[in-house]
Structure 1
Amino acid sequence: MVKSPERQRGVQSVDMAIRLLEIVRKESQPMMLRDIAVSAGITSAQAHTYMSSLKKFGMIEQLGDAGRYALSDTTLTFARHVIRNDATLNANINAARSLSAEIQEMVTVDCLVQEQPTVIFAVQGPRTPSLSLRPGTRSRIGNSAAARIFDAWSDTPEMNPNLSRIIRASGYAHAEGTPVPHLASLAAPVFREGALVASISVIGFPDAMAPEPERPVLRALLAAVSSLGGSSA
């Protein structure tokens, strides 16, 4: 069946809107309109029309005086919904729940969203002080155990190369004083078909988060990711 010109234009508009969302998603920082237009191969006026529509529907937001564009919380929430319906990542969430029940500490599952480690699931443990970490919370590369996992397995790590090699060889990362002062975190990678898809983290007081494989918390964390096929690679 031949599509009508109106329907064809509608399909093209949807395709372009998705393309613009993907451009903004891949950029780790909010983008200027002209940069979005250049990346999409359209004029700034055309980009403005699309971005205005995306903003109207709550999928894009403008930040600061410069009006740079970034994905909105609505879009990130939708992305987390899609992630949670992924069978593999849903298994990670179930593993995180079980791990938290076993060790009585806070456990999170992190994935890369807009190229930044982002919490997609968090469960509070009775031994861990109440924290504001929740789905959508992000951390910069290198300032948490989860972020160090993603950095160590990235093509262009920001950390010291020796630290990256140690993390990859041991299969876990440790951070103290981050993301919360006076606490520490341990994280281990989860792989699918050889690719890093998530990180499972445990957050608690430093004495319990000691980076020693024979200690109960780290031993339980490594066992959890191993059961998911997430041992170091």
Structure 2
Amino acid sequence: MSEKRRGIQSVEIGGRLLSALMRHARPMMLKDLAAEADLAPAQAHAYLASLKRAGFVEQSPETGRYLMGPFAVRLAMARLRTVPAYREVIAAATRLGTELGLMVTVTVAGPQGATVIHRFDGGETLNVNIRMGTVYAPGDTATGRVFAAFSEAGSADEGVQRCGYAAVNDEPVPGVSAIAAPVRAASGELFAALTLVASSARLAREEDAGKAARGRLLVICVEAEAALAADELAGAKDDSPGTLRRRRS
């Protein structure tokens, strides 16, 4: 029984260290991380060694500071994909990518900024480093510009707000272009962004051929918003007093 208690306590202590990293959302020194988790530095170091081996944390070779590791990021992304609302948006991205044969990403607000939680690969081989957990800078990319324009913490980009999307050509990667558009929750707040990523030549051909990749992106985003609103309405009905009484009976 004591072994079982020690095992549970070890997980809880590891959780305290991970919670501290999550709250600060930046690389932390051992002494600061230990203080935040209410541990002695030597004790924190031992737990962090195990968390490093499991991929929950990693340590910068330059500074020695600790940050969330790749397994922790994948675990968080997997958790998001189990939530019905996120599944709706991912399904919308998959429909769009399948229809156009282009890469589509789903990005949501994370502790460190706009973070990719899903990538649908199109038919092109692109020289881009986009994966689950990629964080976009606010102004350098189409996705970052959408978050800057439509999130509460973002700066107002009237051009993006007016047309309802952001586009970049040949930047930040030469030869690659992207178009991003917001998916809003029923409250009107930014829920996610869908982004088409393709070679500049391919994206230009899509538009010139009348397939209107940008138009399809905007339509799919509206469909995703309708699905989110329907889910929210269904959830509200499920939580109504009458429904709760029926469940109890």
The two structures share one fold, judged by TM-score above 0.5: yes
Give the 3 Å change call, closer, same or farther, for CA 28–88 of structure 1 in structure 2.
same
Residue equivalent to 2:31: 34
Give the 3 Å change call, closer, same or farther, for CA 57–83 of structure 1 in structure 2.
same
Q: CA deviation digits over 1:166-211, x for unaligned, max 9?
A: 333433222233342222211112233534332110112447369x
**What's the CA shift for 1:11?**
5.4
**What's the CA shift for 1:46?**
4.4
Matches within 5 A, 1:104-183: 104-126=101-123, 128-132=124-128, 133-157=130-154, 161=155, 163=157, 165-183=158-176
Task: Tell me how large the CA RMSD over aligned residues is.
Answer: 3.2
**Contact between 1:124 and 1:130, CA under 8 Å: does it hold in 2?**
no
* From 181, 189, 194, the counterpart of 1:188: 181
**What's the CA shift for 1:107?**
1.0
- Structure with a larger share of its residues in helix: 2
**Contact between 2:102 and 2:197, CA under 8 Å: does it hold in 1?**
yes
Give the 3 Å change call, closer, same or farther, for CA 142–47 of structure 1 in structure 2.
farther
**What's the CA shift for 1:62?**
0.7
Counterpart-to-counterpart distance in 2, 1:115 and 1:172: 22
Counterpart-to-counterpart distance in 1, 2:31 and 2:152: 28
* From 197, 208, 229, the counterpart of 1:203: 197
Taking only the aligned residue pairs, the percentage that are identical comes to: 31
**Contact between 1:25 and 1:113, CA under 8 Å: does it hold in 2?**
no
Give the 3 Å change call, closer, same or farther, for CA 147–18 of structure 1 in structure 2.
farther
Amino acid in structure 2 at the alignment position of 1:199: A
Gaps of 5+ in 2: 227-249
Question: Per the alignment, in what secondary structure is the counterpart of residue 181 of structure 1?
Answer: coil
Largest Rg, 1 or 2: 2
Counterpart-to-counterpart distance in 1, 2:11 and 2:98: 44
Counterpart-to-counterpart distance in 2, 1:153 and 1:38: 37
Q: Does 1:51 align with 2:48?
A: yes
Give the 3 Å change call, closer, same or farther, for CA 156–96 of structure 1 in structure 2.
closer
Give the 3 Å change call, closer, same or farther, for CA 184–60 of structure 1 in structure 2.
same
**Contact between 1:23 and 1:36, CA under 8 Å: does it hold in 2?**
yes
**What's the CA shift for 1:69?**
0.8
Residue equivalent to 2:75: 78
Question: Per the alignment, in what secondary structure is the counterpart of residue 214 of structure 2?
Answer: helix
Give the TM-score, by structure 1 length.
0.77
Amino acid in structure 1 at the alignment position of 2:182: P
Amino acid in structure 2 at the alignment position of 1:204: A
**Contact between 2:139 and 2:148, CA under 8 Å: does it hold in 1?**
yes
Q: Does 1:224 align with 2:220?
A: yes
Amino acid in structure 2 at the alignment position of 1:24: L
**Contact between 1:200 and 1:225, CA under 8 Å: does it hold in 2?**
yes
**Contact between 2:150 and 2:182, CA under 8 Å: does it hold in 1?**
no
Q: CA deviation digits over 1:20-42, x for unaligned, max 9?
A: 32332344432222332344455
Count of residue pairs brought into register by the alignment:
221
Counterpart-to-counterpart distance in 2, 1:97 and 1:184: 19
Gaps of 5+ in 1: none
Counterpart-to-counterpart distance in 2, 1:229 and 1:20: 37
**What's the CA shift for 1:61?**
1.0
Mean Cα displacement is larger for which, 76-85 or 34-43? Answer: 34-43
Residue equivalent to 1:65: 62
Question: Per the alignment, in what secondary structure is the counterpart of residue 119 of structure 2?
Answer: strand
Amino acid in structure 1 at the alignment position of 2:66: Y
Counterpart-to-counterpart distance in 1, 2:13 and 2:191: 27
